[in-house]
Structure 1
Amino acid sequence: MNRWNNNPEEILTKKVSRMSNSSTFNILDLNNYILLEILGFLNATDLWLLSKTCGRLNDLIEKECFWRYIDARDSPNTVEKIEYCAQKCNQATRDVRICADGRHLVIISSTFFRYLNRASITILALENQKICGNDIQLKHFPENLMELSLKKTYITEINEFLTYYDHQLKKLKVLILDQCCWITSNILTNRIAYIYSLEILSLYKCKALNEVDMSIIKGFHELRIMDCRFSSLGNMFLKNLSKKPKIREIYFQHYLTTYFPEKHRRELEISSGSRRLKHSYIKDHDDIPLWNENVLRSYFGSNVNTNEMYNHCNSLFDRSTERYTHSNYIEDNYHFESVLYKRPYNECTCEYNSTTGLAVANVKSEINHDDRMDQYVCKDDILYTLDPACFTHELENANKSEKDIAIEELIDPSYCRRTRRRVQAWCGYAKVRKHMATSIREDEYFSNYNNVSLTKISLRGCNSITDATLQHLTHLHLLLLDVTGTNVTTEGLIKFAIDNVQCRIIHETMCTCLPTLHF
């Protein structure tokens, strides 16, 4: 009998049999080839935790193949873990994503980017954390960056943070600034607009933004997707977006009329078993209906006061789409798919399609209304802000908590720098024709026909939109149109649907699918 049996199958069979007969199983009994396969399914946080268990696993985890994609956003989010993951960056690393457990916590330092710059990082997410602009600036970021997410990140010393050299950010295509309360109209026009390569810009829930006249902006010529849902951008901003020929998708959604009801529905879905989206970073103080005194005082006490900021937050009117009437549609074969940005509309699940849309419209003539939703809707269409005098002692604290930052966001940074009268004048800008930035006469304004490639637009919750907007857009061959919560009529929708059979029309009487929220 041969004492040394080199048959690998027989050796493996005996080993498995021996392990099955044992009452305990040790993962270290596996050979390195199997362990490497198993480790390939783990994210950066799991690898970091596992590296602390024994030397053998730590040696395997050191291999560069595990650090091409670094997603370290799972808890625990500590400085030690972030430093460990940063040190693992190598020439093969392309994607790094980290976050903190709150936007009041600092977890990265200037040394973090020294490790990142050893690699060719193209995708970077620094989310839900505090970044000190005196220590970290955009000029420290990798030069080959194509996608950047600063979702719900709190920036101090903003002007210093936004410093970068001309040769940097030339490849940046995607910029996600969702829920960043420090983004103002001045930053949008004077800093972000000059990232000329930008194709996708997400300003979801950037509530410190106000109306912007893009006719005075030289940038955004490569912009394809603009997501400004639940911001204060509105009529004038959309009007000037129509001058950007390459833009394909525009997503507006009225904060006061639609956000809280849809947030309430989403919370009911989660309580019924639906899974919350990962890395949503939602907190109790993020969204408080300031017009509801009972809810407001339950969070901040009975002495809290509010101030009226301005009417028609995120308002859109028919006039904002009028320029599209004189536009020529051109087909743009744009195929870039972002890794970080997710479009708000998924595939339809309500059994609506364009060929049966008219029949569905007749069936859905009566819309169910939940009276409980009324408490979440601002009846007078006025945006409020917390009175800064009630919280001065908290806001002056350098070491702000999560609640302090939420209060600062609800107060609105623009309130401290501008009088209410000036803000009201700025946001009422589009209502009066003589206040328009351009002095071009009406006939001259529409005499310059422009090419557009618009395929998707959301005007959700903007109740000043009527059938006139449908007439402005009817010749553009749209693939998606959301006019839920507007004042368009069933007759107008039917006429639009006949002329645009390929278009997915989202409305109470047609497709009723909801856009995705952030949680």
Structure 2
Amino acid sequence: MNILDLNDYSLLGIIEYLNSTELWQLSRTCKKFHNLIKHKKLWWIIDARDSPHDLNKITFCFKNIIDVTKEIRFCSESRCGEIIPNDFIGYLKYTNLVIIALENQKISGNKIQLSEFPQSLIELSLRKTYVTHPSTFIENSSVQMKNLKVFILDECFWVNGKFIYILGTYSALEILSLYKCKKLFDFDIRYLTDFNKLRIIDCRFSGLGNEFFKYMTQKTQLQEMYFENYLTMYFPTKIEREKELNSGSQPKKYSYYSKVDDIALWDKNVVNQHFGEDCDTRKRAYGHVNYCGTTLYSEAQAIEGNDNNFKSILYEPPYDKCTCGLNSETIRINTAKTEYLKRDIGHDRFPREVNDPFELRECTGYIYELSFRANDPRNFRKHESEICIRNDLDLSIFEHTTDGSDDPRNFIIHHQDIDFNEIYPQTYRRFTMPGERRKYEELFKKSNLVNIQKLSLRGFIGINDMSLKDMENLGLSLLDVTGTVVSKEGIEQFLRLNPDCRIIHEIMCTCKPKIHF
């Protein structure tokens, strides 16, 4: 019996399990399948992330976006690949899409704007997508994105302070993932507003630190907040994961992992290897959280938040259930200290002799900042759209360099003509000045009720027993303080008041958060 002898109903029951790439391939085999695949039942969800990322396949899938389509997912071979058709917005105009994932590709922000996306959108992922002209891409989008609850911007180096500022005006936003947004810095987003419905913020391996942390302590609806120090934790975790892959472990599907994604910017030898011996560099303090940030929790009162049954399809929480078998009832004897991180990777991310009093007080790590872009002096001070980017390596170099301006405001927003006085209500200042701490404390005292349940401060050596003391009344269900300087005695004292809290630490639960590949 030939499969074509089956009736259409039976064939539909079989091919409904195929993804959109497989449907496109099947449609090219014969006329019967070509006609059968037009059935509406097959296009509720369009997932075309499997290769090949052929232009004909992309066009085929877009032409099958219909009124019943609720979800579309597309990606390219690399984040330099521009696969979205020019009439992309036209395909979406009369749809009721709920989920859109445009990942690992290039989007021209001057051609495609969020203000033209369907108003029905609830979840949006641009994971590892390179968006040119991000200011144009997001401007005037607040009304159109009024129903958006989840926005995933993982590994998007172009995300800047103005972008985050506008996201704060998205009235329904509940989950925001800024994982590995390495060019986001505290001083660039000091005067945020809104984010009043945000429940989950994931900013692991970004440059965000104390100021962002203190701002988020004011949000009564916030339930989960994840920080992880890029300078101390990322590369040891990355090396360990690569060893697992070499030993036969399976990589995550659609991880878009590339070996040129990361450069050890704290190591001058590595910087010189990538950018040349004559590259102009300077040290720059990088994202940190310490006991000064957690102090605002010392007056907090834990409350029970409203039940929220919304479960995201696109966002994946970093922590699964414990699999190591260790919990708050067992504290293991472990002499491992923060220095093990240095041993694993072969060099230190923190200076042995610190002369800068700010760096000493705040336990701040540093990176080397480059003063030209894309490894080619001819690109110096060119607009982003004029820089020659031919492949992922060029894009990675562009990601890790800046325009050479001495004004730190231009380090992040180097390709936009932005009036900071228009964006932020107060004069720019890089570090916390006298009176600013009082400002945060006064704001917090107006509403010191918090609903934070899960908190990660992984890898920050400024987190100590004072921090645990500050957080002991929060009623946390999960706290990750791996790679900090909290002591065994500090953990024991915290657990006496919080016996149900899952502590993740070298002497406690050793389960690790998920990494992207």
TM-score bucket of the superposed structures, by smaller chain: 0.7 to 0.9
Are 2:19 and 2:48, in contact at CA under 8 Å, matched by a contact in 1? yes
Q: Distance in 2 between matches of 1:178 and 1:304?
A: 32
Are 1:253 and 1:314, in contact at CA under 8 Å, matched by a contact in 2? no
Partner SS, residue 126 of structure 1: strand
Match of 1:392 in 2: 377
Identity %: 40
The reply to whether residue 337 of structure 1 matches residue 311 of structure 2 is: yes
TM-score, normalised with respect to structure 2: 0.87
Q: Deviation of residue 304 (structure 1)? A: 5.5
Are 1:83 and 1:112, in contact at CA under 8 Å, matched by a contact in 2? no
Q: Deviations over 1:198-257 (max 9, x none)?
A: 110111111111115877433100000011111111011101111111000000010100
Partner SS, residue 103 of structure 1: coil
Question: Aligned pair in 2 of structure 1 residues 406, 87: CA closer, same or farther (>3 Å)?
Answer: same
The reply to whether residue 328 of structure 1 matches residue 301 of structure 2 is: yes
Are 1:45 and 1:74, in contact at CA under 8 Å, matched by a contact in 2? yes
Are 2:187 and 2:430, in contact at CA under 8 Å, matched by a contact in 1? no
Q: Deviations over 1:142-163 (max 9, x none)?
A: 1100000111111112222113
Are 1:154 and 1:180, in contact at CA under 8 Å, matched by a contact in 2? yes
Match of 1:8 in 2: none
Match of 1:238 in 2: 213
Q: Distance in 2 between matches of 1:400 and 1:427?
A: 37
Q: Distance in 2 between matches of 1:371 and 1:224?
A: 34
- Correspondences of 1:313-392 after superposition (within 5 Å): 313-332=286-305, 333-354=307-328, 356-358=329-331, 361-362=332-333, 364-365=334-335, 369=340, 373-375=344-346, 377-380=348-351, 381-388=365-372, 390-392=375-377
1:201 to 176, 190, 195: 176
Question: Aligned pair in 2 of structure 1 residues 464, 174: CA closer, same or farther (>3 Å)?
Answer: same
Unaligned runs of 5+ in 2: 352-364, 381-385, 413-426
2:499 to 490, 498, 501: 501
The reply to whether residue 88 of structure 1 matches residue 64 of structure 2 is: yes
Partner SS, residue 168 of structure 2: helix
The one-letter code matched in structure 1 to 2:129 is T
Q: Deviations over 1:344-386 (max 9, x none)?
A: 11111111123x333xx23x45579587623265233211233
Are 1:261 and 1:377, in contact at CA under 8 Å, matched by a contact in 2? no
The one-letter code matched in structure 2 to 1:70 is I
Question: Structure 1 stretch 249-258 or stretch 210-219: which is displaced more?
Answer: 210-219
Q: Deviation of residue 317 (structure 1)? A: 1.3
Question: Aligned pair in 2 of structure 1 residues 283, 393: CA closer, same or farther (>3 Å)?
Answer: farther
The one-letter code matched in structure 1 to 2:28 is K
Q: Deviation of residue 463 (structure 1)? A: 0.3
The reply to whether residue 102 of structure 1 matches residue 90 of structure 2 is: no
Match of 1:20 in 2: none
Q: Distance in 1 between matches of 2:409 and 2:93?
A: 47
User: Which is greater in Rg?
Assistant: 1
- Correspondences of 1:24-423 after superposition (within 5 Å): 26-189=2-165, 191-212=166-187, 216-293=191-268, 295-296=270-271, 299=274, 302-303=276-277, 305=279, 307-311=281-285, 313-332=286-305, 333-354=307-328, 356-358=329-331, 361-362=332-333, 364-365=334-335, 369=340, 373-375=344-346, 377-380=348-351, 381-388=365-372, 390-393=375-378, 396-412=386-402, 415-416=403-404, 419=407
Q: Which runs of 4+ in 1 moved over 6 A?
A: 421-427
The one-letter code matched in structure 2 to 1:34 is S
Root-mean-square deviation (CA, aligned residues, Å) is 2.6
Q: Distance in 1 between matches of 2:308 and 2:504?
A: 24
Question: Aligned pair in 2 of structure 1 residues 474, 27: CA closer, same or farther (>3 Å)?
Answer: same
Q: Deviation of residue 297 (structure 1)? A: 5.3
